[in-house]
Amino acid sequence: MEPEVTLFVDEECPFCRVESASLREADREGALRFVDISAPDFDATEHGLDPVAVRQRLHARTSDGRLWLGLDGSRVAWRRVGRRGVIRFTEWPLLRGLLDRVAYPLFARVRVPLGRALSWLLRLERPATPQPPARRGPGAGAGRSRA
């Protein structure tokens, strides 16, 4: 089966990487294709895309040739893998305009540095893995009484 939706994703963006991994897992029919725009050999013009615009917001192309941008591109992918709840939420009339015109454009501008900063912070906040006590040589600790 040929993919019905091609998503042009920035795999250097932590948020984009997490979302594309989640979509890959949910794509049981192989309807999604992912093109990494951060790959050294990626050429936007080979896909008929503007090299600057493709890095500014998500681009998704459906098999009928239509190009979907920003959250509309996400909605196309979500619809294809059955994520109806998130689609309904983002299409709720009171939220759609705010999400499409304000929240997504702002997020798209800061997604990479924000994702890197959050990844760094989350690594710092993880508890250290407990290490077994170090042994001090043969029979270390043997013969000692505890009072």
Q: Given this model, what pLDDT does residue 116 score?
A: 83
pLDDT at 80: 94
**CA angle at residue 22 from 128 to 53, to 5 degrees?**
110
Give strand pairing partners of 35: 8
Res 135: pLDDT: 62
Give residue 14's pLDDT.
87
User: What's residue 138's pLDDT?
Assistant: 60
Quickly count: other Cβ atoms within 10 Å of residue 76's Cβ. Answer: 20
**Do 60 and 77 touch, CB atoms closer than 8 A?**
yes
- The tens digit of pLDDT for each residue in 51-65 reads 999 999 999 999 999
At 124 the pLDDT is 55
Query: What is the predicted pLDDT for the residue at 115?
Result: 83
Low-confidence ranges of the chain (pLDDT < 50): 126-127, 145-147
pTM above 0.85, yes or no: no
Whole-number pLDDT of residue 47: 96
Per-residue pLDDT at 147: 47
How does strand 59-62 pair with strand 67-69? antiparallel
